[in-house]
Structure 1
């Protein structure tokens, strides 16, 4: 037997709608995965997306769960029912790190006593809303 100490896998959690998946989503998920050994992703429920953004997502909740879970660097997905439950989700999944885009900077520092909080810069000139508007305007 090895005398090397056993280290607990480092779990990273992140959240998003992930509607109309684009390179910005891929980059943030990859960077989040690089912070640990296991990446857990909360995909916003359809109802949460409507309350948060005032519109239904293009792809359904089940489709977005399937899309995100198919990415090789994502280990587990779940439905995020409420923004107010971030701390509960961090605890439930035993996350060591909460990673978010810097458009949320400071909003989730309240979990920093139980997990490291990391905010990533957004990918310049890539926005789901802009992609949807571009498609709608050029249809």
Structure 2
């Protein structure tokens, strides 16, 4: 039996996440996914929209995922590999080279990302819905309106 392990935040679950999980499940017989806790993300300067509990539950309900564990630190990977009998550690290619030290414990694979989608990009798009940005847009429209009125008065 081949056990595969990966790590991620999996916030705002999207098709890129599903593609990754499908690729991961093709690498072995058993898939373990470590989901970053809210506390760990806070330590990295990240905030998740969806709580750890809900993200872990979403991931755990996906076909092909056998076990979900919490990711609480950068250092836990080697311990998790040994504890869960991991044969393949796989993660997105945006991390290429960052986990090569784990090659002494198991095979390390960097998988391609899905083009055109990421949780970070979705969060950036949603920023326009933030109340402070709506106020900024209203202020800008007000200035433009006054400029147009002034221009009309000149003609």
After TM superposition, the score normalised by the length of structure 2 is 0.80
Q: CA deviation at 1:121?
A: 1.2
Runs of 4+ in 1 over 6 A off after TM superposition: none
**Structure 2: 5+ residue stretches without partners:** 131-155
Query: Greater share of helix residues, 1 or 2?
Result: 2
> Aligned residue for 1:63?
54
Query: How far, CA to CA, are the matches of 1:90 and 1:105 in structure 2?
Result: 18
> Aligned residue for 1:77?
68
CA RMSD of superposed structures (Å): 1.1
Query: Superposition pairs for residues 34-49 of structure 1, below 5 Å?
Result: 34-49=26-41
Give the length in aligned residue pairs: 130
Partner of 1:83, secondary structure, is: coil
- 1:88 has 2:85 as partner: no
**Structure 1: 5+ residue stretches without partners:** 1-8
Instruction: Give the greater-gyration-radius structure (CA).
Output: 2
After TM superposition, the score normalised by the length of structure 1 is 0.89
Partner of 1:112, secondary structure, is: helix
